[in-house]
Amino acid sequence: MIILLSPEQPVVHESAVINALLERGLPLFHIRKYQLTDTEMMAYVNGIDSGYRHRLVTHSHFHLATELGIERLHFREEDRKQNKHEAFMNGFTLSTSVHTIAAFNSLDIVWDYAFLSPVFPSISKKGYGVGHTTLDDLPLRSNLAVRLVGLGGIDQQNYAQVLSAGADAIALLGAVWNHPEPIQVFETINKHIPTGISSS
Provide the pLDDT for residue 117.
93
Distances (CA, A) of 156 to 5, 188, 200: 16, 7, 28
Q: Give the chain's domain count.
A: 1
Residue 197 resides in a domain: no
Provide the pLDDT for residue 18.
97
Residue 24 resides in a domain: yes
Provide the pLDDT for residue 126.
63
Strand partners for 72: 57, 93
Provide the pLDDT for residue 197.
47
Range of the domain at 107: 2-190
What gap in Å lies between CA 14 and CA 30, rounded to an integer? 13
Residue 28 resides in a domain: yes
Provide the pLDDT for residue 190.
92
DSSP codes joined into one string, 56-85: EEESS-GGGHHHHT--EEEE-HHHHHTTGG
How many C-beta atoms lie closer than 10 Å to residue 174's C-beta?
A: 19
Strand partners for 172: 4
Provide the pLDDT for residue 128.
56
Residue 99 resides in a domain: yes
Residue 199 resides in a domain: no
For the domain that residue 41 is a member of, what is the CATH number? 3.20.20.70
Q: Give the HSE-up count for residue 200: Cα atoms under 13 Å, Cβ half-sphere.
A: 11
Residue 160 resides in a domain: yes
Residue 195 resides in a domain: no
pTM of this structure: 0.92
Contact by Cβ (8 Å): 22, 52: yes
Residue 19 resides in a domain: yes
Provide the pLDDT for residue 199.
40
Q: What is the mean pLDDT of each run of 10 residues along the chain (200 residues)?
A: 93 95 96 97 97 97 96 97 94 96 97 96 62 86 97 94 94 94 94 58
Provide the pLDDT for residue 8.
84
Antiparallel, parallel or unpaired: β 147-151 and 111-116: parallel
